[in-house]
Amino acid sequence: MMQLDFLDDLRRMNVRQLFYQVLNFAMIVSSALMIWKGLMVVTGSESPIVVVLSGSMEPAFHRGDLLFLTNYDNEPIRAGEIVVFKVEGRDIPIVHRVIKVHEKEDGNIKFLTKGDNNNVDDRGLYANGQAWLRRKDVVGRARGFVPFIGIVTIVMNDYPKFKYAVLAGLGLFVLIHRE
Amino acid sequence: MHTFLSRANAVSAFSLSTLAFLTFLCFASTFFLDYTAPVKITAANIVLKNVPEYAVSREKNDLGALRFDLSSDLSDLFNWNTKQLFLYLTAEYETSNNKLNQVVLWDKIIHRSESPLIDLKNQHLKYYFWDDGNGLLGHKNVSLYLSWNIIPIAGTLPLWNGIGSYKVAFPTDYTQGRSY
């Protein structure tokens, strides 16, 4: 019965309606992109929303929790805050807490991080011979927290076939569905 | 019209938006709260050595050590939107090398199911107190203070400082040997 409905919908579409559906689809994609790029401008961070991928900050953050980041240049980095940083040779940014800060008169800063759930600091995670992080390594600083929501992303990353099925299903739905 | 799918869709959409709204209320109702509390810190057994910190370089750096007493009642920091506290004891000071140095010496996680009363006596440091250079020798103004990061159930992740600090004065001579 459902299949018949959907065939009916398609049959009743003329060229004008088809164009309308395609434009509608393009509208959804481009507004999602605009929101993401807009957030990048407002927060100053190249990835304003991240999903926690490891348990190294437990029990504060678990896998699948969502973090909102900002990265304003005029806000200094201080001990105790949670930063997201990139290390040379690692693709995935790391979310850990700052435990040491040394700042020069001219604002030049070096700092050390550690995961709340790890026993040792992060020097073992940094690039070979790297003892400190610098301001430029920071992708963002955790400002907001929402639990669980990011688990969708983790599931999609773990099962790529599922991701493509969902994306294809949603795309098809938007294209052929009529109000 | 009223198929199983449309009913399921309506129910899940309604419960999701209700959850989102309640979560937002949870965040909004605690956003403007004051999360300060008085803290009592004292330190003793202050010693200083000058040894190489091999994790950074071969050069000798100042390595301080001390024991501290810490007491505070943090029950006011827990409310319906506090999942846990991350407490950390920071040493902050200025040296000729650096305008600002912050070294976390000790930390502790207090989950909402745990006691919010802190009463530590003669506590060892959890992390080494390395200076970035030789700035601790004879330093009379190293301030120790406790701060906390509120981890909410949903919301912002603010840092607050406890009211009360302790001023550490380091000796003018290095301690020799291995003893602390």
**Among residues of chain B, what percentage have pLDDT more than 70?**
98
Residue B3 has pLDDT above 70, yes or no: yes
Mean pLDDT of chain A: 90
Provide the 8-state DSSP code for B38: B
Two tokens, residue A29:
């994609």
Among residues A45, A65, A96, A137, the one annotated as catalytic is A96
CB B144 within 8 A of CB B123: no
Domains in chain A and their CATH numbers?
49-145 (2.10.109.10)
Record: contact A145-B155, CB cut-off 8 A? yes
Helices A151-158 and A160-176 cross at an angle (nearest 10°) of: 110
Helices A15-43 and A160-176 cross at an angle (nearest 10°) of: 130
Residues A132/B143/B160/A105 CA torsion (nearest 10 deg): -50
Is residue A8 annotated as a catalytic residue, yes or no?
A: no
Please, which residues have CB within 8 angstroms of residue B142's CB and are 6 or more apart in sequence?
Answer: B64, B91, B92, B93, B136, B167, B168, B169, B170
Chains A & B: contacts with CB separation below 8 Å: 81
Which band of pLDDT confidence, cut at 50, 70 and 90, is reported for residue A172?
confident
Please count the other Cβ atoms lying within 10 Å of the Cβ belonging to residue A18.
13
Mean pLDDT lowest among A7-21, A71-85, A94-108, B34-48: A7-21
**Among residues of chain A, what percentage have pLDDT more than 90?**
75
Listed residue (B34, B88, B167, B38) closest to A80, CA to CA: B88
pLDDT of residue A9: 66
Q: Across residues A148-152, what is the average pLDDT?
A: 92
Listed residue (B82, B73, B70) closest to B115, CA to CA: B73
pLDDT of residue A7: 64
Residue B103 carries which side chain, given as an amino acid letter? V
CB A121 within 8 A of CB A143: no
Residue A10 has pLDDT above 80, yes or no: no
Record: contact B84-A59, CB cut-off 8 A? yes
Bridging pattern class, strands B82-93 and B155-156:
unpaired
Q: Across residues A104-132, what is the average pLDDT?
A: 94
Mind giving me the DSSP string for A25-60? HHHHHHHHHHHHHHHHHHH--SSSEEE--SSTTTTT
Residue A82 has pLDDT above 70, yes or no: yes
Is residue A91 annotated as a catalytic residue, yes or no?
A: no
- B128-163 pLDDT, tens per residue? 999 999 999 999 999 999 999 999 999 999 999 999
Q: CA of A158 to nearest chain B CA: how many angstroms apart? A: 24
Prediction ipTM score: 0.91
pLDDT of residue B176: 83
Record: contact A80-B151, CB cut-off 8 A? no
Residue A6 has pLDDT above 80, yes or no: no
Listed by start position, the domains of chain B span 1-31, 33-168
Among residues A5, A31, A54, A56, the one annotated as catalytic is A56
Count the alpha carbons within 13 Å of A165 in the hemisphere toward its beta carbon: 7
Q: Across residues A133-159, what is the average pLDDT?
A: 93
Is residue A62 annotated as a catalytic residue, yes or no?
A: no
**Among residues of chain B, what percentage have pLDDT more than 90?**
90
Q: CA of A70 to nearest chain B CA: how many angstroms apart? A: 12
Q: CA of B7 to nearest chain A CA: how many angstroms apart? A: 15
- B104-118 pLDDT, tens per residue? 999 999 999 999 999
pLDDT of residue A103: 96
Q: What angle do CA A158, A64, A62 make, to 5 degrees?
A: 125
Q: Give me the residues of B, 11-50, that contact A with CB < 8 A.
A: 23
Mutation to test the A interface, candidates B157, B159, B160, most A Cβ within 10 Å = B157
For chain B, count helices (H), then strands (E): 1, 9
Q: Three-class SS of residue A19?
A: helix
Residue A5 has pLDDT above 80, yes or no: no
Look at B55 and A94; give whichever has higher pLDDT. A94
Partners of B107 on chain A (C-beta within 8 Å) are: 99, 116
Q: What are phi and psi of A6, to 5 degrees?
A: -75, -30
pLDDT of residue A3: 57
